[in-house]
Amino acid sequence: MAKIEDIFENVSDKTLVLLGNEAIARGIIEAGVAGVFTYPGTPSSEIPNTLYAAQPLLKEIGYNLYLEWSTNEAVALEGAYGFSLLGHRVIFVCKHVGLNVAADPFMTLVNAGVIGGLVLIVAEDPHMHSSQNEQDNRWYTKISNAPMFEPSDAREAKAMLKDAFRISEKYQVPVILRTVTRISHSRADVHLDPITFPEFRQAISLEIDPRRFVCVPSNARQNKQRILGIINDISNYLANSPWNRVDEGTEEKFAFITCGSAYNYLKEVLLKLRMSCPILKIGLSHPFPRNQVTQFLTKYSSSLIVVVEEADDVLETFVKKLAFEIGFQSKIVGRREGVTPSYGELTIRKVWNGLSKVLNLDLLPPEIPQKQSELTFARPPVLCPGCPHRATFYALNKAVSRRHRIVSTDIGCYTLGVAPPLSAGHVTICMGSSLGIGSGLTHSPGLKDPVVSIIGDSTFWHTGLPGLVNAVYNKSNLLLLVVDNSATAMTGFQPNPSSITSHSSVETLAIEDAARGIGVKHVATIDAYNPKESIKVIKEAIKHKGVSVIVSKGECVIQSTRREGLPESTYYIEADRCVGCYACVNMIACPAIIWSDRITTEEGKPIPMIDQSLCTRCGLCAAVCPYHVIVPRSVDEVLGD
Amino acid sequence: MEYQIFLAGVGGQGILSVTDILCNAAVDMGFKVHGSETHGMSQRGGSVFSNVRFGEIFSPLIMERDSDVLLGFEPTEALRYAPYVKPNGLCLVNIHPIPSPSFTLTKSSYPEIKSIVLALKTYTPNVVSIDATKLASELGMSIVQNIVMLGSLSAVPDLPLSVDSLKIALKKQFRAKHFNLNLKAFEIGRQAYKNNNP
């Protein structure tokens, strides 16, 4: 990652290698944005992370940025709207599914419109590198009428952001900037433009016209007409937008229409095929650029029109619809004809294969040799060595048999606990779903086994709360295990209401207090790293009728190690005394426990050892070993061994 | 001109730092750069890769059978991504194994390094093995194995990045107090490539 002081240097002529999300963060400051509201989620998180890290530096140069880690995307968008109503430029950032959470305010506030520019940056994750679904948010523009920009790379994302604000303010409408993993998490040389300092106007509350912003039916009907008119106006205004441009070509057998990330793969394939064909690159995809697409179709009416896009067939649908409307006679091919696959992330190879097949090209991409499967093995992401969740799940497994329970887990690092041997999870759907599904399970006829819901601290505050209220209200017989690691760890350690903070601008809340306040009678706190005690507390809670809540506290080991370093003393397996029972291996599966070269003297069984380069000295393995052969030792003693 | 480097290893090995250094060096030399990398869930001890491309390029991702260099920070991870190296490209691999926890559970053993190197050779005849982790440990910090690998890469004759530009980028990457150690790791890796490349 680039250094914060470089990214936010107040210069007008400099090129830096930036991550797409860093470039967008710089763009936010170049656009003079006064507020950023967000809930973290991959692949969007580095946008607010970068700005959060830059806040002190920005303050020094006189740029006061309000950055809010909102507790979920719905309140984040509503908060951003508050800034807009007072005339400030404001940004809302989320991952693709975050827009589902914010969809309720979103669908209506588009109609009511904005005062200060409001841009929603929404990052999609084709191939689901870090997501529970693949979702093409371009469809949201069709049901909400919000305009959308689709950059192809980091440089465009930064430039488009500023135009998005211009349109948002000129037409008083929120605008979406859509990015995907391979833009947000790609690096490129990016040119820096000057920083714009936000202008703080006097409060203009008189401009908040209730006839527009109070969305009761009579006003809402007017707002619906308002947005339809605006979309029409924007269409006319942008009839020749430079963001929808044609890359000219000399061969007219094929003419391509593409957008966003797909543009890069298409360009590259055409380079490899030494083909020079015209390409209409759509950068501003909603309102659908009828005028420019019509011109392109008309000009290339004797060519085969090929639509290339990532994710769903949104562009193709609207190009084909337009072609039908204008009586276009030539053939148009896209997803339906096999140009691009219907799921996953595009690559050069996928686009090349698709084009070869549909366009009957002779040149195919080079073949891939067969994989040597017996030598490679799966290396899925796992809970880190020393992760407090491992200790909590071990205790849960000891207290409640894995065979006789249903575990409804949630979204966060702890979802990784579903893998054997911890096996802590039967179902995960979305943020906060552990409680709703868990509660539903308890009322299902025929249930014999206890139901445990697992949720992290940040997810608890995000959408866990309404589920807990519902479970208490409906007298569900449920154990909620909150795995509180005091961090939103998976997305990069953003603060949340109950995490350790030194910021005076936020309040620290306690999950136990919230549970008691809601009316949970049985509330307990355990130390994740004290499994013996945890087992007792969990056993007791599972017997309780009604909702019980256990908060398992254990700070994320990455976060605590960064702040305080590792403990002085480490752990060591005394090989001479190890009997080869493998409790440590089979019950906790810590990545730091590996096989040594030694074998037990009696039965010749291999003996595990602790990889000191991975061990974070949490001591869980020592607590698990029934023969007490895993013992604390000084680091010098072990490494000298 | 285009040049592509495919980096593969295990989360936590410092692959993103090397990606950063390569991108910065390329920009320093006036190239247009594009790279792509793994963040988020898949980072936690999982298999990770990153791509660095510079020259006349658009896509952030490298295509299979197209990378000039495969820089493998771990043997089986190098093999996993071996389909990305050009048929006559270079595979530069750290032969220090990192087993996976799933391994320990199934009580299977790590494949023989010799077999992995042989398998790599079915993708390209040019495989250079470096025990970067061992070399880094000799410096007292096994974690700088990533910079040892970067040093080895710097010695590759057709790499369009100059040693000076790489060293400037290296200096930019680390705090002053860590620079000397990293510079040493870089030089050791550079020498190792020369020694190991027949």
Q: Is the pLDDT of residue A330 over 90?
A: yes
Helix ranges (H only) for A14-132 are: 20-30, 46-60, 73-85, 98-101, 103-112
Mutate to test the interface with A, among B18, B57, B58 (most CBs of A within 10 A): B58
The answer for B 158-197 residues in CB contact with A (under 8 A) is 172
Q: What is the pLDDT of residue A372?
A: 65
Q: 3-state class of B30 per DSSP?
A: coil
Q: Under an 8 A CB cutoff, do B10 and A421 touch? A: no
Distance from C-alpha of B70 to C-alpha of B50, rounded to nearest angstrom? 10
Distance from C-alpha of A624 to C-alpha of A66, rounded to nearest angstrom? 47
Q: Which residues of B touch A3 (CB under 8 A)?
A: 172
Q: Are strands A593-599 and A630-634 parallel, antiparallel or unpaired?
A: unpaired
The CA distance from B193 to the nearest CA of chain A, in Å, is: 25
Nearest chain A Cα to B83, which residue?
A368
Please tell me whether the interface predicted TM-score (ipTM) of this complex is above 0.85: yes
Burial of A641 (0-12, 13-18, 19+ CB in 10 A): exposed
Distance from C-alpha of B159 to C-alpha of A267, rounded to nearest angstrom? 25
Average pLDDT over residues A420-430: 97
Encode burial over A308-340: b for 16+ CB neighbours within 10 A, e otherwise. bbbbbbbbbbbbbebbeeeebeeebbbbebebb
Q: Which amino acid is at A410?
A: D
Interface check A593 vs B, CB under 8 A: yes
Peptide bond into A43 cis (omega under 30): yes
Which of A375, A380, A613 is closest, CB to CB, to B116? Answer: A375
Using CA atoms, how far residue A250 sits from A246, A267, A279, B107, in Å, is 12, 14, 11, 61
pLDDT band at A437 (very low <50, low <70, confident <90, very high): very high
Q: Which residues of B touch A590 (CB under 8 A)?
A: 101
Q: Number of CB pairs < 8 Å for A and B?
A: 175
pLDDT digits (tens, 9 = 90+) for A575-614: 999 999 999 999 999 989 988 989 988 888 999 999 888 8
CA A365-A369-A372 angle, to 5 degrees, is 150
Q: 3-state class of A304 per DSSP?
A: strand
Mutate to test the interface with B, among A15, A22, A376 (most CBs of B within 10 A): A376
The 8 Å CB, 24+ separation contacts for A50-59 are: A50/A4, A50/A7, A50/A21, A50/A22, A50/A25, A51/A25, A52/A494, A53/A4, A54/A4, A54/A7, A54/A8, A54/A25, A54/A29, A57/A4, A57/A5, A57/A8, A58/A8, A58/A29
pLDDT digits (tens, 9 = 90+) for A241-281: 999 999 999 999 999 999 999 999 999 999 999 999 999 99
pLDDT digits (tens, 9 = 90+) for B10-54: 988 999 999 999 999 999 999 999 989 876 555 567 888 999 999
Q: What is the pLDDT of residue A222?
A: 98
Q: Is the pLDDT of residue A641 over 60?
A: no
Using CA atoms, how far residue A625 sits from A422, A544, A574, in Å, is 16, 30, 11
Distance from C-alpha of B110 to C-alpha of B96, rounded to nearest angstrom? 11
Q: What is the pLDDT of residue B108?
A: 75
Structure tokens at A279: 């390409």
Q: Under an 8 A CB cutoff, do B102 and A378 touch? A: yes
Interface check B40 vs A, CB under 8 A: yes
Residue B144 DSSP code:
G
Q: Which amino acid is at B163?
A: V
CB A141 within 8 A of CB A285: yes
pLDDT digits (tens, 9 = 90+) for A532-556: 999 999 999 999 999 999 999 999 9
The CA distance from B187 to the nearest CA of chain A, in Å, is: 23
Interface check A315 vs B, CB under 8 A: no
Q: What is the pLDDT of residue B171?
A: 95
pLDDT band at A52 (very low <50, low <70, confident <90, very high): very high
Domain annotation for chain A: domains and CATH numbers: 4-237 (3.40.50.970), 245-359 (3.40.50.920), 388-498+507-562 (3.40.50.970), 567-639 (3.30.70.20)
| Ramachandran angles phi, psi of A126, nearest 5° | -60, 140
Q: What is the pLDDT of residue A202?
A: 67
Mutate to test the interface with A, among B4, B27, B41 (most CBs of A within 10 A): B41
The CA distance from A587 to the nearest CA of chain B, in Å, is: 9
User: Considering only A98-102, A415-419, A572-576, B42-46, which range has the smallest mean pLDDT?
Assistant: B42-46
| Ramachandran angles phi, psi of A563, nearest 5° | -80, -40
pLDDT digits (tens, 9 = 90+) for A300-325: 999 999 999 999 999 999 999 999 99
Q: Which of A18, A379, A438 is nearest to A188 (CA)?
A: A18
- Residues across chain A: 641
The answer for A 398-417 residues in CB contact with B (under 8 A) is 413, 416
Interface check A5 vs B, CB under 8 A: no
Q: Under an 8 A CB cutoff, do A381 and B102 touch? A: no
CB A91 within 8 A of CB A37: yes
Nearest chain B Cα to A46, which residue?
B39
Interface check A474 vs B, CB under 8 A: no
Distance from C-alpha of A1 to C-alpha of B90, rounded to nearest angstrom? 27
Q: Which of B103, B34, B196, B120 is nearest to A265 (CA)?
A: B34
Q: What is the pLDDT of residue A203?
A: 62
Domain annotation for chain B: domains and CATH numbers: 2-196 (3.40.920.10)
Which of A129, A182, A594 is closest, CB to CB, to B61? Answer: A182
pLDDT digits (tens, 9 = 90+) for B77-135: 999 999 999 999 999 999 999 888 777 777 777 899 999 999 999 999 999 999 999 99
Q: 3-state class of B80 per DSSP?
A: helix
The CA distance from A220 to the nearest CA of chain B, in Å, is: 40
Mutate to test the interface with A, among B63, B109, B118, B141 (most CBs of A within 10 A): B63
